[in-house]
Amino acid sequence: MTRKRILVVGGTGYLGQHLLQAYSGLPDSPYDLAFTYRSNLPRDLLDAFPGSLAFHVDLQTGGGLDAVSQAFGQPDVVVNCAALSVPRACEADPAATMSINVPSTLLEWLSAFKEANTLLIHLSTDQVYEGVKSFYKEDDETIPVNVYGKSKVAAEQFISKNWSNFAILRSSIIFGPQTISPVPKSLPIQWIDGVLSRGDKAEFFHDEFRCPVYVKDVVTIIQALTSRWISGWLLIVSCFT
């Protein structure tokens, strides 16, 4: 069987690194792996995944994607983990948020390949919902209340209009262990642990419903979608956690 290509866009982020770890830890992996970074490429990531290719890509401009085509080729699966993912940062710069979180340059790049046979697995959020009740269903109305949520709804709409093979995962708060190269953003469990171990008090939100999900469960879902797509068994076009 020919080896299949997986590209993790945003491979330096929290979920991206956990995915790379899982894909590269598969025994006799049938996959060639590549990932993208935007700010800088941490040395410890290169050391941890020596068999994978790393590309500098900026989704705001699309810069760097041509180098992926040349050195890696068309991926069979793209997992898009790249985003401005901190809601406070999104409020501060709505224009940048839209241009990064709506993957227009990524889809333009994918559309340039002769055949449209790449599966795009795109990470969305439970913040597409208003957050006033628990256990939203996929077909509940999306009423985002912040810039981050609005950009994710716009991304979902853009993808469904412009690409036929996709799965969108509306994840809630992702928790789990720190990554190989520690990410700069605050992680939920580590933050709570830090507060409690200092004997400090913490204030939590009490006016929204969330369904936190363990990072390795998200990884398992993405890996299942990948292997089903590659074996020809994935018939669905959208999927939500």
Ligand X SMILES: NC(=O)c1ccc[n+]([C@@H]2O[C@H](COP(=O)([O-])OP(=O)(O)OC[C@H]3O[C@@H](n4cnc5c(N)ncnc54)[C@H](OP(=O)(O)O)[C@@H]3O)[C@@H](O)[C@H]2O)c1
Residue ranges in contact with ligand X by CB under 6 A = 10, 12-16, 37-39, 57-60, 81-85, 100, 123, 125, 171, 173-174, 183, 185
State in angstroms the smallest separation of the CB of 191 from ligand X.
12
Report the residue number, 215 or 234, with the smaller CB distance to ligand X.
215
State in angstroms the smallest separation of the CB of 152 from ligand X.
7
Report the residue number, 211 or 237, with the smaller CB distance to ligand X.
211
Report the residue number, 90 or 234, with the smaller CB distance to ligand X.
90
State in angstroms the smallest separation of the CB of 227 from ligand X.
21
SS (H, E, C) the chain: CCCEEEEEECCCCHHHHHHHHHHHCCCCCCEEEEEEECCCCCHHHHHHCCCCEEEECECCCCECHHHHHHHCCCCCEEEECCCCCCHHHHHHCHHHHHHHHCCHHHHHHHHCCCCCCCEEEEEEEHHHCCCCCCCCCCCCCCCCCCHHHHHHHHHHHHHHHHCCCEEEEEECCEECCCCCCCCCCCCHHHHHHHHHHCCCCCCCCCCCCCCCEEHHHHHHHHHHHHHHHHCCCCCCCCCCC
State in angstroms the smallest separation of the CB of 232 from ligand X.
27
Report the residue number, 13 or 144, with the smaller CB distance to ligand X.
13
**Number of residue whose CB is nearest ligand X:** 13
State in angstroms the smallest separation of the CB of 1 from ligand X.
30
Report the residue number, 77 or 83, with the smaller CB distance to ligand X.
83
